[in-house]
Amino acid sequence: MALIVKKFGGSSVGSTEKIMAVAKRILDEKKPGDQIVMVVSAMGDTTDELIELAKGVTKNPYQYTREMDMLLTTGEQVSIALLTMAFKSLGQKAISLTGPMVGMRTNSVHTKGKIIDIKPARVHKELDKGKIVVVAGFQGCDEKGDPVTLGRGGSDTSAVALAGALKADSCEIFTDVDGIYSADPRIVKGARRMKEITYNEMLEMARLGAGVMQPRSVEMGKYFKIPSHVRSTFTTKPGTMMREAYTMEEKDFVIRGVAHDDKVAKIAVLGVPNNPGIAHSIFSALAEANVDVDMIVQSIRNIEKNVTDMVFTVASDDLSQAKKIVDTVADQLNAIAVLIEEDVAKVSIVGAGMLGNPGIASRMFGALSKAGINIDVISTSEISISCLIKGAQLKEAVNAIHDEFFPQK
C-alpha cells in the first residue's frame, strides 16, 4: 500500500487514444490499497496553440500576463476532465481537480509563478473515498484567487511539490524518453541512460538546459526528500531514479552528463565606468522585472579611462524585455553601446566527480578546440563547467564533448 504521485506530460496525453492508454496502464499497475494522484499537462501542442490564438489578438500577448494565465490554464483542464472520464469509463472512481482546488497557492508573478504553500486536504479526502485524483499541473492561484501558471516545466514542479505536501512514498515522472541520459539522445547517438542520479547533479543539469526535468521540480524533490522516478510513458522498463545519494556504485565516469541550452541570448554592455555599484545598477533593474541572468563576465575595456564591459546571458524569451531595461540603464551609465547576439548556445558538463579531479576543464576545452569551436564565455560551479558558443555549432560541440568523456566501447 503506497501513496504515489504520477505525472504525465503533454506528449503522453496528446490524444484521446493516448489518454485511454494511460488510464489502462495506471489501473494495470495499481496494487490493492494504493492511493494514486495523477498530475497532467495540457494535451500535445495545446499550450502552443493557445499562445498562437493570443497572438492573433495582439502581437505581444505576454504584456498581459494575468490574461495569459487565464488562457493557458484552460489547457490542463481539458486533460484532467478527459482522463477522469477515461477512468470512470473503466469502472474506476476518479475526480478531476484544478491547481487551486488542491490548495496550490502561489505568489502573484503571472506566467512565472512560484508555489508558496500547498494545503491538500481536499486531495486526502477524495483519496480516502477510493478515488484516483487527477490534478491539473502547471497552475495555482494567488491570494486574490487569480490563476497563476508556474512557467516552463511547471507540471513537473506541481507534481513533486504535491508529492511532498502529501508525504507521498514516491513521485513518478512519465515522459517520452525512458530516463535521464548522459546527453540528449536526439543529438548524441551514443548517449547512455543512467540508473541513478543525485539531486545535486540533476539540479545542475536541469539548470543548464537538460530538458527532462526543470530546476524547480528538482529543488522540490531535494527539499522534500521524495525519491523521483523518471520513466517512459510508452514502456514498462525502469527509468532513472533521483535520490539524495547513490545506492549503487556508478563511478565509471567522472562526468555524469553533457547539457545544452539553445534558448539563450547574449547581451554586452560596453564601456561602462569601472566603479562600485555599476553591476548592481544593471542587474537589480533586471531582477525587479523577474528576468533571470545566467553567465556573467566583466572585463576591463580601457585601464587608462577606467571603463569596463559587462557581458551576460538571458533566456531568449526574456530578451525583448531585458533589452528595454538594459538600454535604459546603459543610457544612465553613459555606456558606449549595448550589443545583442542571438545566435549563441550554452554547452555544459556536470558531475560531482570533477571535484578533486584536475584536468576536466582542459579536456572539455580541448574537445571543443579539436572540433574547431571557439569559446565566447566560460562559467563554472563546483560540479559544472559551461561554455557559450555559436548556436550553429551546438550539435557538433555536444557530440565532441560527449565523445571525450563517454568514449564508445
Short-list 351, 9, 361, 347, CA closest to 197: 351
Short-list 94, 173, 82, 182, CA closest to 131: 94
Query: Which pLDDT belongs to residue 177?
Result: 82
Query: Which pLDDT belongs to residue 252?
Result: 59
Contacts of 99 (CB under 8 A, 6+ apart): 73, 76, 135, 136, 137, 138, 139, 140, 141, 147, 158
Q: What is the pLDDT of residues 322-354, one digit of tens each?
A: 999 999 999 999 999 999 999 999 999 998 888
Query: Which pLDDT belongs to residue 151?
Result: 87
Cα 11 from Cα 228, distance rounded (Å) = 20
Q: What is the pLDDT of residues 189-243, one digit of tens each?
A: 999 998 888 888 898 888 888 877 888 888 888 888 888 999 988 888 889 998 8
Question: Mean pLDDT in the chain?
Answer: 92
Query: Which pLDDT belongs to residue 251?
Result: 54
Averaged pLDDT, 124-130: 97
**Res. 391 pLDDT band, cuts 50 70 90:** very high
Residue 135 grid coordinates: 490534478
Written as one string, the DSSP assignment of 281-314 is HHHHHHHHTT--EEEEEEEEEETTTTEEEEEEEE
Cα 297 from Cα 317, distance rounded (Å) = 21
What distances in angstroms separate CA 404 from CA 83, 146, 330, 397, 400, one per listed residue?
45, 50, 41, 11, 6
Query: Which pLDDT belongs to residue 244?
Result: 80
What burial class does residue 190 get, using C-beta atoms within 10 Å of its C-beta: 0-12 exposed, 13-18 middle, 19+ buried? middle
Q: What is the pLDDT of residues 240-269, one digit of tens each?
A: 998 887 665 455 568 889 999 999 999 999
Residue pair 151/318 in contact (Cβ under 8 Å)? The answer is no
Contacts of 95 (CB under 8 A, 6+ apart): 84, 126, 131, 132, 133, 134
Query: Which pLDDT belongs to residue 253?
Result: 65
Domains of the chain: 3-175 (3.40.1160.10)
Q: Using the 8-state DSSP alphabet, how is residue 33 labeled?
A: T
Q: What is the pLDDT of residues 13-58, one digit of tens each?
A: 999 999 999 999 999 999 999 999 999 999 999 999 999 999 999 9
Query: Which pLDDT belongs to residue 247?
Result: 65
Q: What is the pLDDT of residues 260-317, one digit of tens each?
A: 999 999 999 999 988 999 999 999 999 999 899 999 999 887 777 788 999 999 999 8
Angle at 267 between CA 262 and CA 270, to 5 degrees: 155
Cα 121 from Cα 103, distance rounded (Å) = 8
Cα-based torsion angle of the residue sequence 46, 234, 406, 220 in order, rounded to the nearest 10 degrees: 60
H-run or E-run covering 337:
strand 337-341
Q: State phi, psi for 327 to the nearest 5 degrees.
A: -60, -45
